[in-house]
A and B are shown apart, each in its own frame.
Chain A
């Protein structure tokens, strides 16, 4: 009974929700759910979980591109059929986990994964992303699919992951480092709480497409959308209703463009990358915290974004050498002091790094305790 375009509402099914997860759990997991005793990471990218019953499940974690084709997915299925009785999962950070119930299949799986390469030469299934290393970079759509980005996403991630590839397949850092990328301030993804965040920002106020704006947008909505009240009604010389932006008050958030397509702000030289560091989500030892801006702007440099890659590598290297075991990047920066952070990483401190938005005061220093 296929879809009948003449009767689109016939036999319609709605609101059935997702399939039940129970259908997709490997038997070992189903049998031991809620009864796991402990886990170990025998080698980077490989986890073993041991249940109270003594049963074990092995997981081999491999990096994946979030933008993934059906051809690639089918290859993943072939591998899971061969070694994993047809079971696999994806992690929050777009890694793929092959779930192995039969230990004798573990090594053949690993060898197989290592052998597969794309025609262009890159690895299809790099193994890693566990423990005190970097895992896959969570990211957003960028130039592949979104209307508001200041930067690309997939391309920047590819370039950065190539640059820090060694940290994906090893566990040599003082603590886990989560790198995230969002291509605009909407931040689809939690880059505002990442150890290292790569964030697309705009630096030019929106243009107003006065010819069209009254036809495309509800003007009061666009006015109300501006967090700083920078937008007010205006009329063109020939009497059309339009809007005007007070550029001095604009902080380039792009919210007006989100509400109104006739106010584009992306620009070849205006848009680029800011780097934030020191955020975390877990409650381990210290509380979750926001990432802080340490590099206010890096130009868009397609196709390989060399300045951004170098900046991420530099921060990782200095942190790796200087921090203590278990110390997250932000905890390290706070222990040594931000003045030392800039000194050690050799990043220039500019006026752009001093907060001037609401609540800024809480980030200024109200003490004479500082380091020379």
Chain B
């Protein structure tokens, strides 16, 4: 039973922040997980990396469950003799419920399943949003999947060149800013596209993320190929009495988020009116006015005075496409493509758009080309044609500054073919 000597990692037991080393040790000593040596050997191999300053994990091989091309990531240690407990240490991605709410009953059943079939170590949660079971062997995969589906009524998430597990902010479940039901949208689209989630058919990965408002708590604008960001098109609702209560100091500005320091008395002029990026607000000492047509819904005033200002009632989402991390062509943020759609179950309008975009990307995309890269290669104009959308100044920060316009032949009167002889009749060589 491997209790490993890990002097470097032991240093990470010190200090106030929770220590993952202490936690792994407690699992190694007390845990009921079936792969007995795994936690101690994980510490062992990490200690070796702390000495060598290089990872000791090999490339994932192809492992998975029958019929699925995603959900499991193969992982092998490059020092299997020294660390047999983690020689095979595959990752299982489990599709998290929307916004990651749990009952202890369900969470305990997940724990039990993972004790029975793995290392007892998890990520709660991985960066993509899944519950990540960290470390098991190939022979446990089928039984684990069988029990997860039969007993827990729960499925795997995605990995590989497919739809990755969609993720949402907590939205209407606990946030007054939410402009649509992010949980329902996420759950609905996840169920609709199970085939795309589990059977890779895409050039590369594709991510949906759902933010309920422009505050962007799940970072959809930076890390999803298709970002749904809640917004509204009518007026911000104002409770003038509550505005006065903020001015008078009865309510803490920004819900108390700045209470750790003395920033002086709340000054609505300085902190809200003058900070509005479009200068569309005014305050005459007793009444707050907003010229809503000029508001860009940045959320600042609502964040500062949540008890006085509320989003409008005509709510929906903006859809943006193409965010990705640097690899390959450099990082991209999502580009605003659909300024507004209504987001109501069963989300038909959104799905129609999804399918148009996928058809194009599957047809035109090169191996490992993310949607954002394809849009750059083929042009945003072509992307709009695919989406059947009319161009709109909302889609750009500014119009182009270079005049190298790719006119099409049919756009030019008389087409492109001309008669050189007729030209020469008037112009000597």
Do A and B share a complex?
Answer: yes
* A residues apposed to B, CB below 8 Å: 1-3, 5, 8-9, 11-21, 23-26, 29, 33-34, 36-42, 44, 49, 57, 59, 63-74, 76-77, 80-81, 86-92, 94, 96, 99, 118-126, 130-133, 138, 140-149, 152, 154-155, 158-159, 161-162, 165, 168, 170-173, 176, 182, 185-190, 192-193, 221, 224-225, 227, 253-255, 258, 261, 266-269, 271, 281-286, 288, 290, 300, 302-304, 325-326, 357-359
1/0 contact string of B1-22 vs chain A (CB within 8 Å): 0000000111111111111111
Greatest chain B CB density within 10 A among A11, A41, A122, A224 is at A122
Interface residues of B in 306-333 (CB under 8 A from A): 306-307, 325-331, 333
**Is there an interface contact between B104 and A119, defined as CB atoms closer than 8 Å?**
no
**Is there an interface contact between A38 and B187, defined as CB atoms closer than 8 Å?**
no
13 contacts between A and B (CB under 8 A): A21-B97, A21-B101, A42-B256, A68-B23, A74-B108, A77-B107, A88-B102, A132-B257, A158-B12, A176-B257, A182-B325, A225-B328, A268-B54
**Is there an interface contact between B326 and A187, defined as CB atoms closer than 8 Å?**
yes
**Is there an interface contact between A94 and B125, defined as CB atoms closer than 8 Å?**
yes
Q: Which residues of A contact B217 (CB under 8 A)?
A: 92
**Is there an interface contact between B221 and A67, defined as CB atoms closer than 8 Å?**
no
* Partner of B58 from A34, A147, A159 at Cβ < 8 Å: A147
Question: B263 interface residue, CB < 8 Å from A?
Answer: yes
Kindly state the separation between the CA atoms of A189 and B126 in the bound complex, as whole angstroms.
9
Closest-CB distance, B138 to chain A (whole angstroms): 12
Known contacts A36-B178, A74-B108, A266-B54, then 11 further A-B pairs from the complex at CB < 8 Å, ordered by chain A residue: A3-B142, A17-B197, A37-B176, A70-B111, A86-B104, A90-B100, A158-B12, A168-B17, A185-B326, A303-B12, A358-B330
Known A-B contacts A17-B95, A143-B50, A147-B55; the reply to A290 vs B333 at CB < 8 A is yes
Kindly state the separation between the CA atoms of A261 and B74 in the bound complex, as whole angstroms.
13
Interface residues of B in 139-192 (CB under 8 A from A): 142-143, 146-147, 149-150, 152-155, 167, 169-170, 172-176, 178, 181, 183, 187, 190-191
Nearest chain A residue, comparing its CB with the CB of B223 = A190
**Is there an interface contact between A120 and B30, defined as CB atoms closer than 8 Å?**
no
**Is there an interface contact between B303 and A143, defined as CB atoms closer than 8 Å?**
no
1/0 contact string of B231-263 vs chain A (CB within 8 Å): 000000000000000000000101111111101
Greatest chain A CB density within 10 A among B67, B100, B108, B299 is at B100
Stretch at the interface among B116-124, B349-357, B421-429: B116-124
**Is there an interface contact between A8 and B170, defined as CB atoms closer than 8 Å?**
no
* Partner of B49 from A70, A94, A143 at Cβ < 8 Å: A143
**Is there an interface contact between A86 and B103, defined as CB atoms closer than 8 Å?**
yes
**Is there an interface contact between A145 and B134, defined as CB atoms closer than 8 Å?**
yes
Known A-B contacts A14-B149, A132-B260; the reply to A64 vs B124 at CB < 8 A is yes
Question: B137 interface residue, CB < 8 Å from A?
Answer: no
Q: Which residues of A contact B17 (CB under 8 A)?
A: 63, 122-123, 126, 158, 161-162, 165, 168
Greatest chain A CB density within 10 A among B53, B150, B330, B333 is at B53
Question: B395 interface residue, CB < 8 Å from A?
Answer: no
Greatest chain B CB density within 10 A among A92, A254, A325 is at A92
* B residues apposed to A, CB below 8 Å: 8-27, 30-33, 39, 42, 46, 49-50, 52-60, 66-68, 75, 89, 91, 95-108, 110-111, 114-115, 120-129, 134-135, 142-143, 146-147, 149-150, 152-155, 167, 169-170, 172-176, 178, 181, 183, 187, 190-191, 194-195, 197-198, 214-219, 221-223, 252, 254-261, 263, 271, 275, 277, 296-300, 303-304, 306-307, 325-331, 333, 367-368
* Partner of B222 from A26, A185, A193 at Cβ < 8 Å: A193
* Partner of B258 from A12, A131, A221, A302 at Cβ < 8 Å: A131
Number of A-B contacts (CB under 8 A): 435
Kindly state the separation between the CA atoms of A265 and B11 in the bound complex, as whole angstroms.
28
Nearest chain A residue, comparing its CB with the CB of B122 = A68
**Is there an interface contact between B59 and A147, defined as CB atoms closer than 8 Å?**
yes
